[in-house]
Amino acid sequence: MERLFTLLLLIISTTAFGQTTVTGKITDEKGKPVVGASVSLENTLDGGTTDSAGVFRFTTSEKGDQLLVATAVGYANAWSPVVVGDETITKNLTIKNTARSLEEVTITAGAFEASNEKDKTVLKPLDIVTTAGTQADVVKAIETLPGTQKQGTENGLFVRGGDASEAALIVDGLVVQNAFFSGPPGVATRSRFGAFQYKGVSFSSGGYSARYGQALSSVLELNSLDLPEKDNINLGVNMAGIYASGSKLWKNSGGDVTAYYNNLSPFYGLVKANIDYYDVPKGFGGSGRYAWQPNKDGMVKLTLAGSKFTSGVQVPDSVNNPVRYDLTNDNYTASISYRQTLRNKWMTYVAAAYNYNGDDATYNGIPSTRKDERTQLRAEAKYYMTSRVSLLAGTELQRYDVTSSFSNYQSSFVEAQYAGYVEGEWTPVYWLALKPGVRYEYSELLNRNSISPRMALAIKAGRGAQVSLASGLFYQNPDYNYLYLVDKYSMGFDYQRAIHYIANYQLQRNDRTLRVEGYYKDYNSLVKENGNTPYNPNRSIEGQLIEGKITTIDNSGHGYATGAELFWRDKKTVKNADYWISYSYIDTRRLYKNYTELATPEFISDHNLNIVAKYWIDKIETQINATYSYATGRPYYDAMSKQFLGGRAPEYHNLSFTINHLRAIGKWFTVIYAGVDNVTNHKNIFGYRYDQNNNRTPIVPALYRSLFVGINMSLTQFEKDEL
Amino acid sequence: MRKLILLIAAPILLSATQAKAQNFEEMLEKNFLAFDTTQNQQQKLEYSNKLALIAKKWPDEWTGHYYNAYSKVNLSYFEPDEAKKDAYLDEAEREYEEMMGLLKKENDETHVLAAMIANARVAVKPQQRWQKYGKIFDENLSKAKELNPDNPRIYYLIGVNKYHTPKMFGGGKKAAMPYLEKAQTLFAKEDGEDIAKPHWGKKANEYFLNLAKGGEED
């Protein structure tokens, strides 16, 4: 009886109260304790969580062979078999940190992304609009990034030693034929891009993808919005004019319509301009966009846009007499694109566009016109073989004809370009990404082929850090001025060529970005005018040909560009503040066009510094932005100097402020903005122009200090019965 | 004597075996209540880890996955490391998928959970994500409303979202109030007895309601 009782008690005590303690420490591969890891016996509820020392402790009534498993967020699971008896078990485990692979490795050499979609972006469309000194012009905002040159008197994006022709501006994979508004010579006009029409901007200062060609230096790529977010009406008034836009969203499609009228009278009326606008630039335009989502992974976009602008300005001629230059510009674009992803394995993209640009000008009454007409098509497909490998293949067709006339004198050319490209993206291991590509291009006008191999790679170099390298061959047609001569004078030209070598180090951590980049570009086969004539900046090429001053024009020009750039952006250190510093150094010389010696071109400043700062004051819902730009003096042709392009213009300084205030006026979300460009009224001089009597006049921007004020109101349809 | 011993021993033995054959509902209720009540982050982590073990042990119970997912979303808000925040939400999404695999069809609470996860995704990188995940948040809550307009958690989530939205975008304390108040009346009607009928949020709603009422300087 008593034995039974004892036996029962024994059974009870061992089964009901037989708990074994399991304890131990969890560390990562570096030996650091892991806090908050869950350690348990597999398929049971017996387990514990590691404390700040990485130590866990729990009791279990399980017995026998068990599997101890440790899991923690950001780490791979680890298992260890244990045999549970009566004795306390001590088991230490090491778990591997997988958080590193949560960061993608992306090619950064020569590339700046600005979009809302990718995490590793450097600039967002909203950053562009709020940057002081840019007047919300996308291209001017890009000029605060490394590798670019400030422009006050010429249109275009000047990147790493290249002139305006060397930068291609692309929207949705299609070339933008006339990215800048037409203007009189010597006046830089703004680009036609409105920052909010795009979901992303990508700037490549070199080594760009095989998808693009015809640009020796860089590509600025913009991607238009897809479906509008909600029904929306947007109205704005500023010193350049008024605009209105509306967008509507249906079930699977949406559209928006924009109309604007610009008149720069208020802008030029406030301050004395350096140029004499007797007919201030004015014009109107509009665009319509329709986007349709036929299925979850497809998008069709259709865009139509048109504008008409006029202006009249007095400019000096080669003997410094004033000339009246009247200009009327008509610009139309129609484009359609279709993107479709199939089963996450294939992505196809087709896009086509038609552009027309007509400049009708009179030069002291003499008609001077230029018409550009272009049709283009791009078709490509991307195959995602695995999550690590993808292959892109595509083709591009460009057909454009350009006609230019002065009085009765006409010049024109027709060009058709065919290109095919293949590019692969391969991530063999999580820390290495490779992007090899090759592009083939044929030009009907030059009757030449080109094959450009391209290669870019990125290597992870620690948490948030990577090293990226890029290299490739880049080809570009000679300038239009030379292409006019092909048919008329039976001249043959070859492609102009550049080879890039780029190396970059980027560190992104805690909302701070550091980028250091170095490059070397070798230019070859540049178009060069040969003859025994002294340098004449005001020459007409055809005039000099006819007079025998130019004997031949060939591809014997060459040059180089090398430099180093630093970019630092900090969104963290100061609360509600965001600033970036961009410094570029360049050493470049070339012998091309009508240059008589290898020299640094007039559009180059050796040192460029941009400091951009933005500060948000929460209490008054206002943001203050400031930009300071500095550039060393540019070379200019000094008729008095023995050295070719030996003059050095003074340094460039520009301090600009803008302020934007947000408020809700009734149901309208309103932004009120005001800005002063060149606050100190610094008289920037880009160079000097010599007339035929060797008198010189400074080349200056249209305005020194200028003021810009505006208001934007947006009304969004809120759902009526949210409650 | 034997009978007496057996009488004493039996219930002890029974309770011992009972303790071994742990009841899913009991464990779930106990650990979830503990998770939801404690304010200590280390403890919250411990209970969340327990909820994960429960969900793993009883994979065919949708409520196990539901509450584990809920706890992971909750933890993601207090985790300072961005990559870990996303890792918590990845796990929440995996548990959500498991749950949907069992339920086959969505109901108002699954939509509320989906909206919660989307909201937490936005919180990781607000500037980059508010467009994509904000839309998912709105869509799920409107679907939840269609299925059950009296679910207080719908209005609680909208209210908290509005509270954190800047005034110029239509948010702020005043904008949040009507939603939090409506949630409050609906919370009062819930009994909170059945673990299979999620009833979380009452206390959190009170907390935000007090914040929205107090310091009303606009």
Q: Which among B56, B88, B127 has CB closest to A73? A: B88
CB contact under 8 A, A15 and B13: yes
Does residue A7 lie within any of the structural domains?
Answer: no
- How much is the average pLDDT of A467-487? 93
A129 contacts A144 by C-beta, under 8 angstroms: no
pLDDT in tens, A268-284: 877 778 888 888 889 99
Write phi, then psi, for A66 (nearest 5 degrees). -135, 165
CB contact under 8 A, B57 and A45: yes
A701 contacts A274 by C-beta, under 8 angstroms: yes
Query: Which residue, A698, A695, A617, is CA-closest to A659?
Result: A617
**B176, two tokens:** 């949040």
| Owner of token pair 């509507």 | A248
Tell which of A101, A136, A169 closes a domain: A101
Window 151-210 of B: residues touching A by CB (8 A cutoff) are: 155, 158, 166-170, 178-179, 182
pLDDT band at A1 (very low <50, low <70, confident <90, very high): low
Q: Are residues A84 and A218 in the same domain?
A: no
Q: Which positions in chain B touch A52 (Cβ < 8 Å)?
A: 42
SS3 A131: coil
Q: Which positions in chain A touch B87 (Cβ < 8 Å)?
A: 73-74, 99, 102
Q: Which positions in chain B touch A669 (Cβ < 8 Å)?
A: 168-170
CB contact under 8 A, A16 and B52: no
Does residue A722 lie within any of the structural domains?
Answer: no
CATH number for position A450: 2.40.170.20
**A171, two tokens:** 């929207």
Q: How far apart are CA B196 and CA B201, in angstroms?
A: 15
- What residue type is A544 in one-letter code? Q
Does residue A721 lie within any of the structural domains?
Answer: no
pLDDT band at B174 (very low <50, low <70, confident <90, very high): confident
- Per-residue pLDDT for A720 more than 50? no
Residue B125 near chain A (CB below 8 Å): yes
- How much is the average pLDDT of A584-607? 94
| Owner of token pair 């909600």 | A230
**Smallest Cα distance from B84 to chain A, Å:** 6
pLDDT in tens, A433-456: 999 999 999 999 999 999 999 999
**Smallest Cα distance from A46 to chain B, Å:** 8
**A358, two tokens:** 């007509």
Q: How far apart are CA A152 and CA A164, in angstroms?
A: 13
Burial B113-123 (b: 16+ CB within 10 A, else e): bbbbbbbbbbb
Window 32-51 of B: residues touching A by CB (8 A cutoff) are: 42, 45-46, 49-50
pLDDT band at A719 (very low <50, low <70, confident <90, very high): very low
pLDDT band at A125 (very low <50, low <70, confident <90, very high): low
The secondary structure of A599-613 as a DSSP string is B--TT--SEEEEEEE
A438 contacts A421 by C-beta, under 8 angstroms: yes
- Rounded alpha-carbon distances, angstroms, from residue A271 to A137, A675, A702, A704, B5: 21, 14, 11, 9, 107
- How much is the average pLDDT of A12-40? 81
pTM reported for the whole predicted model: 0.77
Q: What is the pLDDT of residue B3?
A: 64
- Rounded alpha-carbon distances, angstroms, from residue A709 to A266, A628, A657: 10, 20, 12
pLDDT in tens, A130-173: 788 888 788 888 898 899 998 888 888 999 999 989 999 999 99
- How much is the average pLDDT of B105-133? 88
Q: What is the pLDDT of residue A120?
A: 43
A81 contacts A67 by C-beta, under 8 angstroms: yes
**Smallest Cα distance from A167 to chain B, Å:** 29
Does residue A514 lie within any of the structural domains?
Answer: yes
- Per-residue pLDDT for B132 more than 60? yes
Q: How far apart are CA A400 and CA A182, in angstroms?
A: 18
DSSP state of A166: G
Q: Which among A12, A45, A102 has CB closest to B9? A: A12
Q: Which residues contact B74 (CB under 8 A, 6 or more apart)?
A: B35, B44, B48
A277 contacts A706 by C-beta, under 8 angstroms: no
Q: What is the pLDDT of residue A116?
A: 45
A485 contacts A507 by C-beta, under 8 angstroms: no
Residue B15 near chain A (CB below 8 Å): yes
**A605, two tokens:** 């400043």
CB contact under 8 A, B1 and A1: yes
What is the number of structural domains in chain A?
A: 2
- Per-residue pLDDT for A6 more than 70? no
Element (H, E) at B6: helix B2-20
Query: Which residue, A529, A646, A639, A651, is CA-closest to A599?
Result: A646
CB contact under 8 A, B56 and A43: yes
Q: What is the pLDDT of residue B1?
A: 60
Query: CA torsion sign, B207 to B210 to B212 to B217?
Result: negative
**Smallest Cα distance from B132 to chain A, Å:** 9
| Owner of token pair 């995940």 | B133
Q: How far apart are CA A195 and CA B36, in angstroms?
A: 46
- Per-residue pLDDT for B168 more than 90? no
- Rounded alpha-carbon distances, angstroms, from residue A10 to A13, A17, A341, A456: 5, 10, 69, 73
Does residue A464 lie within any of the structural domains?
Answer: yes
Q: How far apart are CA A248 and CA A291, in angstroms?
A: 10
Q: Are residues A80 and A172 in the same domain?
A: no
Does residue A216 lie within any of the structural domains?
Answer: yes
Q: Which positions in chain B touch A48 (Cβ < 8 Å)?
A: 46
SS3 B79: coil
Does residue A1 lie within any of the structural domains?
Answer: no
Write phi, then psi, for A71 (nearest 5 degrees). -130, 145
**Smallest Cα distance from B2 to chain A, Å:** 7
CA angle A463, A466, B125 (to 5 degrees): 55
Tell which of A101, A130, A160 closes a domain: A101
- Per-residue pLDDT for A672 more than 70? yes
Q: Are residues A78 and A160 in the same domain?
A: no
Half-sphere exposure of A13 (CA within 13 A, CB side): 7
Q: What is the pLDDT of residue A14?
A: 47
In terms of phi and psi (left: phi > 0; alpha: psi -120 to 50; beta: otherwise), the region of A709 is beta
Q: What is the pLDDT of residue A113?
A: 61
A–B: how many Cβ contacts below 8 A? 93
Q: What is the pLDDT of residue A703?
A: 87
The secondary structure of A30-69 as a DSSP string is TSPBPTT-EEEETTSS-EEE--TTSEEEEEE---EEEEEE
Q: Which among A16, A49, A621 has CB closest to B45? A: A49
Query: Considering chain A, what is the average pLDDT of its residues?
Result: 87
Question: From the candidates B42, B53, B157, which should be mutated to test the interface with A, based on the most A CB atoms within 10 A?
Answer: B53
Q: Are residues A556 and A674 in the same domain?
A: yes
The secondary structure of A460-500 as a DSSP string is E-STTEEEEEEEEEEEEPPPHHHHHHHHHTT-----EEEEE
Q: How far apart are CA A179 and CA A192, in angstroms?
A: 6
Q: Are residues A494 and A599 in the same domain?
A: yes
Higher-pLDDT residue of A541 and A10 is A541
Q: Which positions in chain B touch A119 (Cβ < 8 Å)?
A: 125, 128
CB contact under 8 A, A664 and B27: no
CB contact under 8 A, B16 and A45: no
**A204, two tokens:** 């490549």
The secondary structure of A107-127 as a DSSP string is --TTEEEEESS-TT-S--HHH
B47 contacts B36 by C-beta, under 8 angstroms: no
- Per-residue pLDDT for A123 more than 90? no
Does residue A659 lie within any of the structural domains?
Answer: yes
Question: From the candidates B26, B35, B58, B84, which should be mutated to test the interface with A, based on the most A CB atoms within 10 A?
Answer: B84
- How much is the average pLDDT of A639-659? 90
Q: What is the pLDDT of residue A103?
A: 54
Q: Are residues A84 and A38 in the same domain?
A: yes
Q: Are residues A411 and A523 in the same domain?
A: yes
Tell which of A54, A79, A101 closes a domain: A101
Q: Searching chain B, which residue's CA lies closest to the CA of residue A663?
A: B168
Q: What is the pLDDT of residue A190?
A: 85
A713 contacts A234 by C-beta, under 8 angstroms: yes
SS3 A95: strand
- Structural domain for A42, as ranges: 16-101
Q: Searching chain B, which residue's CA lies closest to the CA of residue A667?
A: B170
CATH number for position A90: 2.60.40.1120
Q: Are residues A551 and A457 in the same domain?
A: yes
CB contact under 8 A, B22 and A45: yes
Q: What is the pLDDT of residue B156?
A: 94
Neighbours of A125 (CB within 10 A): 21
Specify the range with the lowest mean pLDDT, choosing from A303-312, A397-406, A682-691, A712-721: A712-721
Half-sphere exposure of B208 (CA within 13 A, CB side): 28
A151 contacts A294 by C-beta, under 8 angstroms: no
Q: Are residues A67 and A136 in the same domain?
A: no
pLDDT band at A590 (very low <50, low <70, confident <90, very high): very high
Q: Are residues A289 and A170 in the same domain?
A: yes
Strands A198-204 and A552-570: unpaired
CB contact under 8 A, B27 and A40: no
Q: What is the pLDDT of residue B217?
A: 44
Strands A253-263 and A276-292: antiparallel
A→B interface, C-beta within 8 Å: 1, 4-5, 8, 11-12, 15-16, 36, 38, 40, 43-45, 47-49, 51-52, 61, 71, 73-74, 99, 102-103, 116-117, 119, 121, 124, 229, 621, 662-664, 669, 718, 722-723
Q: Are residues A198 and A267 in the same domain?
A: yes
CB contact under 8 A, A621 and B52: no
Q: Which residues contact A225 (CB under 8 A, 6 or more apart)?
A: A197, A198, A199, A291
DSSP state of A97: B
**Smallest Cα distance from A722 to chain B, Å:** 9
pLDDT in tens, A338-386: 999 998 889 999 999 999 999 999 989 999 999 999 999 999 999 999 8
Q: What is the ipTM of this complex?
A: 0.79
Question: From the candidates B17, B29, B50, B156, which should be mutated to test the interface with A, based on the most A CB atoms within 10 A?
Answer: B50
**Smallest Cα distance from A620 to chain B, Å:** 11
Q: How far apart are CA A267 and CA A240, in angstroms?
A: 6
pLDDT in tens, A310-345: 999 988 777 778 889 999 999 999 999 999 999 888
Spell out where A531-621 has E strands. Answer: 552-570, 577-591, 607-617
Query: Considering chain B, what is the average pLDDT of its residues?
Result: 85
Write phi, then psi, for B57 (nearest 5 degrees). -75, -35
Angle, in degrees to the nearest 10, between helices B24-37 and B41-57: 160
**Smallest Cα distance from B168 to chain A, Å:** 5
Q: How far apart are CA B213 and CA A112, in angstroms?
A: 45
Q: Searching chain A, which residue's CA lies closest to the CA of residue B48?
A: A38
Q: How far apart are CA A81 and CA A69, in angstroms?
A: 9
CB contact under 8 A, B87 and A124: no
Dihedral angle over CA of B66, B67, B68, B71, nearest 10: 130
Burial A30-39 (b: 16+ CB within 10 A, else e): eeeebbbbbb
- Per-residue pLDDT for A627 more than 70? yes
The secondary structure of A371-433 as a DSSP string is EEEEEEEEEEEEEE-SSSEEEEEEEEEEEEEEEEEETTEEEEEEEEEEEEEEEEEEEEETTEE
Q: Are residues A203 and A298 in the same domain?
A: yes
Q: What is the pLDDT of residue B18?
A: 44
The secondary structure of A264-293 as a DSSP string is -HHHHHHS--SSEEEEEEEEEEEEEEEEE-
